Structure 1
Amino acid sequence: MIIEVKVPTPGESITEVELANWLVANGDLVRRNQDLAEIESDKATLSLTAPESGKLEIVVEAGSTVKVNAIACRIDTSVEVPDVEEDSPEEAASEETPAEKVAAKPAGKAPGKEAQEAPAAAPTGMKSTPLARSKMEAEGLSAEEVLKGLRKLSSREVDAVLDLRAGGGVGSSIAAERDIERERMSNLRRQLSKRLVQVKNETAMLTTFNEVDMSALMALRSKYQDAFVKKYGYKVGLISFFLKAAAQVLLKRPMVNSMLDGEEILTPNYVDISVAMQGPKGLMVPVIRDVHSKGLAAIEGDMKSLADKVRSGKVSLEEMSGGTFTLTNGGVFGSMLSTPLINPPQSAILGMHNIVERPVAINGKVEIRPMMYVALSYDHRLIDGKDSVGFLVDVKKRIEDPLALLTGDREPGAVLLDV
């Protein structure tokens, strides 16, 4: 029986997608629920999976733009696919070291042919750390899928290795070769480009800045990090504190959490924050729901789960839709200051930056403190200066005195004494 596998729909408003690349070859035997290809839409990367086991016939070439529900491939289910035994030779071979694999080769092969085939066998015999193997097993990733997620090697990298092996520096062969690589933009990147231009042309975007003394928060995190890891199994990051602080202030200043819909202003009574994360396919912005009602442990848990999905390319369209506000952290790349672009249809975005020890005036004395610049870009059509500047001041207050995350705008002593 021949089964037609059609291109899935990523969302109601999307009619075309790009079949980015096939994970299997034409004529391969595939198993039910096996990932066959990666499909890129305007908003997310999806997987094309096999509904049944059988022999694959590819209909659409990689890199092609196709309509939703078009036939991507066919599977002949009459072809029997052997089951993979737990101790199959293929799996046993994957556990062998390169030396063992060489020893296990048939003696009849010519030395020249063996030398030519050795590079092709390298990915199978590639060594990995126990942590890497456990992560791949948890996410259902093979070594080949991980390697495919990396950037391709060019002759530059090969020349660099040869030059270093020969004892040279940067090497003359790299300088002599002047190549220009040409690569077609993906649907995801094209849509991102359109959205960035849209923000620039269709919003009255302004950015306001402030600086935050991170001393108290870093001391608190350092003091309780071990206890936190012991209880929850993962560390708490600085971003989670900013997410919690931003959510509290967004409820206090709802206009920063609002968005324009034509001539109407939409103001949610909840806070869903989009968090910019870097993945193999580029920048993704998954959403943490109901941040205002969650504790730091739950926020950090959601962050960890979404980050793992972004890294493995498994984040769904639903998980990237519906945010009311965005947080981005350029500090992880060393950024000192930036003006982040609004993520439409939202009206504001908070930018974190790197932490640098700088001299600051504290009670009339100069002290060295770990300082971070923060930025809020906002649509001035909807958000006035009072709310934008006040938002950063309120976030700054909660980060510089983390107890304010428990007591809000009231002093901890006043809360204790109920005055």
Structure 2
Amino acid sequence: MSTEIKAPVFPESVAEGTVATWHKKPGEACSRDELIVDIETDKVVLEVVAPADGVIEEILKDEGDTVESGEVVGKFKAGAKGEAAEAPAKQEAPAKQEGAKDDGEPADAGSAAGTDSGSGVQSEAILSPAARKLAEENSVEPGSVQGSGKDGRVTKEDVQAHIDGGQSRQAAAPQAEAPKPSDLPGAGVPAGERAEKRVPMTRLRASIAKRLVNAQQSAAMLTTFNEVNMKPLMDLRKQYKDGFEKRHGIKLGFMSLFVKAATEALKRFPAVNASIDGNDMVYHGYQDIGVAVSSERGLVVPVLRDTDALGLADIEKKIVEYGTKAKNGKLGIEEMTGGTFTISNGGVFGSLLSTPILNPPQTAILGMHKIQERPMAVDGQVVILPMMYLALSYDHRMIDGKEAVQFLVAIKEMVEDPARILLDV
């Protein structure tokens, strides 16, 4: 029996998408709920899975083709056996991983699979193809996942549950890593005589480009700078990091402290927390702060909702969750829409100073940068201190220079004296 493979129903804010990747070929066997095609929109990648065990009968929309919401992209035949055999049912136990775990301890290869009592032979985990792919993408050892499928088979849902369950126990929020040269879009250009490689721009990259150009052309954008002594914050983190991690199951990072400082500053300067809608200025009575995250597909900005009501641990856990979802392309549109203010941390890539671009319709964005020791004059003496440049880009149509400078000074004062956040001074 043939059934239609349709593109997902897009949200109202998404007009169309592009077929990004077909994971199965016509005639190739598929398992129920196995990923068969990715549909890329200008905001997220949507996955289409197999409705049952069977085969891809026909592909109607090739990779790169534009599709509309709910449009038929192919045909699926349930119950049929494909020409291509399924991947082996058993997943070999992986070799010992290189590197170390988040907590600095060497990776334990022995945890990749359980040990059969009495024989001393390691048992092998049974994974579905979709589960195996998800496990490999997230460096999950198959033997550490409890299978709920038939005969103990590990399903994709089992792996995702294992990943989600481990987030609260992660030693630290994921730090953005600079992409390896081999991972960059231009990688693979053959060496030789003035070689070139032409790669179509993804919908997300095109959307980012359009928004950034629009922000520069439509807003009266200015940037003001300041520098902050990070030593008090670093001393605070060093003093309480062990107790914080023991109580909350996650490490205390700098981003959560900057989010809380920004929240307090936004309450004092409502114009910085406002947005422009046509000829209207919209003042928001809440603080929804977007945190810019770099992913393989481009820059995404998931939003922390109602940060005034969140504790530091809540913020850290949410950042971990968003970081993992961004890496796996799992961020939903609802998680990236809205927001009244944005924080971007280029320091994780080594940026010493930059001028961040506004994220419309927001009227301001805070840029954090690399912490670097510099000689500073303190009470007539030269002292070496860990300093960070801060940059606040703002829309001068909405925010006056005085407000922008005072807002940035308020963040500086709270970071250099964290007690001000608690005392509201």
Show the counterpart of 1:225: 241
CA RMSD of aligned residues (A): 2.9
* Residues 288 and 341, structure 2, Cα contact 8 Å, conserved in 1: yes
* Residues 53 and 75, structure 1, Cα contact 8 Å, conserved in 2: no
Show the counterpart of 1:303: 319
CA distance in 2, matches of 1:260, 1:21: 38
Secondary structure of the structure 2 residue equivalent to 1:373: strand
Q: 1:213 to 1:31 in 2, by over 3 A?
A: same
Show the counterpart of 1:95: 93
Structure 1: segments with no counterpart, 5+ residues: 98-123, 143-148, 157-173, 410-419
Identify which range, 20-29 or 189-198, moves more after superposition.
20-29
Q: 1:150 to 1:312 in 2, by over 3 A?
A: farther
Q: 2:308 aligns with which of 281, 284, 292?
A: 292
Once the two structures are superposed, residues 210-257 of structure 1 have per-residue CA deviations (whole angstroms, 9 ceiling, x without a partner) of: 100000000111111122222222212111111111011111111101
Q: 1:289 to 1:260 in 2, by over 3 A?
A: same
Secondary structure of the structure 2 residue equivalent to 1:5: strand
Aligned residues: 353
Q: 2:222 aligns with which of 192, 206, 214?
A: 206
Once the two structures are superposed, residues 261-300 of structure 1 have per-residue CA deviations (whole angstroms, 9 ceiling, x without a partner) of: 1111111111111111111211111111111111100000
Question: Does 1:268 pair with 2:302?
Answer: no
Q: 1:331 to 1:138 in 2, by over 3 A?
A: farther
Show the counterpart of 1:248: 264
Q: C-alpha displacement at 1:326, in angstroms?
A: 0.5
Aligned partner letter, 2:47: S
In terms of fraction of residues, the more helix-rich structure is 1
Show the counterpart of 1:26: 26
CA distance in 2, matches of 1:79, 1:131: 32
* Residues 7 and 69, structure 2, Cα contact 8 Å, conserved in 1: yes
Question: Does 1:79 pair with 2:113?
Answer: no
Question: Does 1:154 pair with 2:188?
Answer: yes
Structure 2: segments with no counterpart, 5+ residues: 96-131, 146-155, 164-181
CA distance in 1, matches of 2:37, 2:138: 28
Show the counterpart of 2:386: 370
Show the counterpart of 1:11: 11
Secondary structure of the structure 1 residue equivalent to 2:90: helix
Question: Does 1:332 pair with 2:348?
Answer: yes
Q: 1:47 to 1:179 in 2, by over 3 A?
A: same
With structure 2 as the length reference, what TM-score do the two structures score? 0.77
Q: 1:401 to 1:138 in 2, by over 3 A?
A: farther
* Residues 330 and 354, structure 1, Cα contact 8 Å, conserved in 2: yes
Once the two structures are superposed, residues 51-97 of structure 1 have per-residue CA deviations (whole angstroms, 9 ceiling, x without a partner) of: 3332113221111112222111221124269xx9xxx9924353377
Whose Rg is larger? 1
* Residues 199 and 342, structure 1, Cα contact 8 Å, conserved in 2: yes
Secondary structure of the structure 2 residue equivalent to 1:306: helix
* Residues 17 and 39, structure 1, Cα contact 8 Å, conserved in 2: yes
Show the counterpart of 1:117: none
Show the counterpart of 2:121: none
Q: 2:398 aligns with which of 376, 382, 385?
A: 382
Aligned partner letter, 1:319: E
Q: C-alpha displacement at 1:181, in angstroms?
A: 1.1
Q: 1:37 to 1:89 in 2, by over 3 A?
A: closer
* Residues 208 and 299, structure 2, Cα contact 8 Å, conserved in 1: no
Q: C-alpha displacement at 1:138, in angstroms?
A: 4.4
CA distance in 2, matches of 1:349, 1:129: 32
Secondary structure of the structure 2 residue equivalent to 1:189: helix
Aligned partner letter, 1:79: A
Q: C-alpha displacement at 1:15, in angstroms?
A: 2.1
Q: C-alpha displacement at 1:37, in angstroms?
A: 1.8
CA distance in 2, matches of 1:379, 1:43: 24
Secondary structure of the structure 2 residue equivalent to 1:318: helix
CA distance in 1, matches of 2:217, 2:24: 42
Q: 1:283 to 1:155 in 2, by over 3 A?
A: closer
Identity fraction in percent? 42
Secondary structure of the structure 2 residue equivalent to 1:248: helix
Q: C-alpha displacement at 1:131, in angstroms?
A: 6.0
